[in-house]
Amino acid sequence: MTDIEFGLDTFGGVTRDAGGDPVAHPQVIRDVVEQAVLADSVGLDFFGVGEHHRPDFAVSSPEMVLAAIASRTERIRLGSAVTVLSSDDPVRVFERFATLDAVSNGRAEIVAGRGSFIESFPLFGFDLRQYEELFEERLDLLSQLLKERPVTWQGSTRAPLENQRVFPRTAGGLPTWVGVGGSPDSVVRTARYNFGLFLAIIGGPATRFAPYIDLFDRAQDQYGVEPKPVAVHSPGLVAETDEEARAITHDGWLAMRTRLGEERGWAPPAVGDFEREIEGGALYIGSPETVARKIVTTLNTLRVNRFDFKYDQNGVSHDAMLQSIGLYGEKVVPMVKDMLG
């Protein structure tokens, strides 16, 4: 278990300045680059950038941000978290990530998903009634393109390809994952296409995801494919003390949870929900020792190859995120490795 990788994910959420006002999108994007540079310097393994098309997130083109990060980092692997494949074109996705792979000297990864928001569908002219069909066909085409051989393909949601090659070629291929929120069908489909499984654990205890990892293993055996890695992604923030970490994140978590509830028809958060998610759910918020112990509990429960920490919490300042990244890389990860060893 000491070979487990430790990464960071960000959605490029809009941060707050010292006066509590929202930071402008251009500065948020520049700050994400700085955060990734710090992540590289403290020895973390992966940095993922999400794709969104709404005002509370600054990043709509992860590959552009990742290319800027690649120019200022040396070893950290770079990927999306996630690329919204349903409303994108797999040919362009491959071309952009193959270009990123060249710029980063072989450090690019794709994490494809349907996304947790739907703004990209009307923005790019896609029908939400084709939600499942779009993702299935695009994932199928992407799987063919990643073989880097001439592709002949036909579907109902884009033009067919006839013996078509795409460029640039990569030096060693593009590691590809599928982001899954907890659907058994999605887990089996990921195994069928022989991609890595990236589980988004954003609420409730991690233990409830153990059956999905077992299902992934069984499905890979059934399809007779090479075993692929499993990663988990959960939100959190590290500060010097538990009290400081909770104080920094509480109001932003409550505001985001309330806003998403209004958008999606969820019940509003109840008193104590924030604390319950920290104590026994998916929030990794606290001092380095508190967060390290919770990660160890998760890793002793779930057989995974990578743990990704979604460090950008709603409304938190850039400076607080930098502190969190530094503590995660320099204190939390060494503690976790010692405990696992």
pLDDT band at 341 (very low <50, low <70, confident <90, very high): confident
Q: Which residues pair with 73 in a beta bridge?
A: none
Structure tokens at 23: 């930071």
To the nearest 10°, the Cα dihedral for 121, 65, 258, 308?
110
Q: pLDDT over 90 for what percent of the chain?
A: 95
What distance lies between CA 255 and its chain's CA centroid? 21
Cis preceding-peptide flag for 168 (omega within 30 of 0): yes
Question: Residue 265's pLDDT is what?
Answer: 87
Q: Is the pLDDT of residue 116 over 90?
A: no
**What's the alpha-carbon Rg for the chain, to the nearest Å?**
19
Question: Residue 133's pLDDT is what?
Answer: 97
pLDDT band at 230 (very low <50, low <70, confident <90, very high): very high
Q: Is the pLDDT of residue 268 over 90?
A: no
Q: Is the pLDDT of residue 310 over 60?
A: yes
Q: pLDDT over 70 for what percent of the chain?
A: 99
pLDDT tens-place string over residues 272-291: 999 999 999 999 999 999 99
Across the chain, mean pLDDT equals: 96
pLDDT band at 232 (very low <50, low <70, confident <90, very high): very high
Q: Alpha-carbon distance 242 to 257, whole Å? A: 21
Q: Is the pLDDT of residue 2 over 80?
A: no
Q: Is the pLDDT of residue 150 over 80?
A: yes
The stretches of the chain forming alpha helices (DSSP H) are 25-41, 62-70, 90-103, 120-123, 131-145, 184-192, 210-223, 242-264, 273-280, 288-301, 318-327, 333-340
Q: In order of start, what are the domains of the chain with their CATH numbers?
A: 5-340 (3.20.20.30)
User: What residue has token string 């000297």?
Assistant: 105
Structure tokens at 328: 């995660």
Q: Is the pLDDT of residue 121 over 60?
A: yes
pLDDT band at 1 (very low <50, low <70, confident <90, very high): low
Q: Per-residue pLDDT averaged across 166-175, rounded?
A: 97
Q: How many CB atoms lie within 10 A of CB 280?
A: 14
pLDDT band at 12 (very low <50, low <70, confident <90, very high): very high
Min mean pLDDT across 150-164, 258-272, 296-310 is at: 258-272
CA distances from 307 to 63, 112, 120, 230 (A): 22, 17, 28, 9
Q: Per-residue pLDDT averaged across 205-232, rounded?
A: 97
pLDDT band at 18 (very low <50, low <70, confident <90, very high): confident
To the nearest 10°, the Cα dihedral for 209, 213, 214, 215?
100
Structure tokens at 264: 């999606």
pLDDT tens-place string over residues 76-86: 999 999 999 99
Q: Is the pLDDT of residue 47 over 80?
A: yes
- Backbone φ and ψ for 161, nearest 5 degrees, come out as -120, 140
Structure tokens at 206: 């991690």
Question: Residue 61's pLDDT is what?
Answer: 98
- Backbone φ and ψ for 328, nearest 5 degrees, come out as -65, -50
